[in-house]
A = this chain, B = another copy of it.
């Protein structure tokens, strides 16, 4: 017996494609339908065995769904839920994979009818590659998945969504959406802001004889700026969607940087050394 009848995946990329693959392989869904903008791409995903059916029409994609999973970019999730709601059958569940939760969940709950249940999710999975060609049934294995129930969340809907993510191999953790946005703002979104900013700061500099001083850089700069290669549209949306925690975290970082600046200015070697030692310890603690 499948966990769900029809599962419709909105946005068949790396995450959506991997979830589709698992739904098919583990028979978690009676039928897997994909929604996307390109009929050609959906046909390719179908040929790879990820989908039973691809649809570029939203109504056709979701009208028989028992579960709709939004795997599209963060900024598209709220408008898509609003657009697809009229086509859903009563009792349908909706979840998403967005990296930001409070602004999405609050908006969706504000217009969700009683007959449809929404649970916010954030599987901490992904990778360098994108697109369903890189889809893998192992993508979620061993990863954490945050679900963010609220006082409005239906208990049985929450249980079913958690069961789905557990079957993909993830450790599922309940978390308040505000706490989620602060934590991921800190460990993921802030580092991206810093990487983009550092890369631009150094990239814009020139010296008397060198327009491009990065030709003198080594492996250290490559490591610290690797995530400055990340997708501009995705990160633009995450930064804006997680605005309040981002502003707070940038201010906290700036205050810490200002302290280090003062230590250098005062040539306070002892405290500078302790500062670097503390960073060493925190770094060693990263798993």
Using a CB–CB distance below 8 Å, which chain A residues touch chain B?
75, 124, 144, 175-176, 179, 182-184, 186-188, 190-205, 207-210, 212-218, 220-233, 235-237, 239-240, 243, 246-247, 249-254, 256-258, 260-261, 264-265, 267, 269, 272-287
Contact = CB atoms under 8 A, between A and B. Distances in A.
A217 B151 CA distance: 27
Contacts of A283: 199, 225-226, 228-229
Contacts of A258: 254
Contact of A197 (B192, B217, B249, B257): B257
Contact of A195 (B235, B279, B286): B279
A224 B224 contact: yes
Contact of A199 (B221, B222, B250, B282): B282
A220 B187 CA distance: 9
B187 A284 contact: no
Contact of A190 (B124, B198, B284): B198
Given A198-B194, A278-B203, A215 B273 contact: no
B243 A188 contact: no
A86 to B, nearest CB: 28
Given A183-B210, A223-B223, A286-B222, A236 B272 contact: yes
Contacts of A246: 264
A75 to B, nearest CB: 8
Nearest to A284: B229
A235 B175 CA distance: 39
Contact of A218 (B186, B188, B199, B277): B188
A224 B265 contact: no
B202 A282 contact: yes
Contacts of A187: 202, 213-214, 216-218, 221
A179 B223 CA distance: 24
A239 B179 CA distance: 36
Nearest to A265: B247
Contacts of A243: 264-265, 267
Most B CB contacts (10 A, CB to CB) among A273, A283, A287 go to A283
B222 A227 contact: no
Contacts of A285: 203, 212, 214
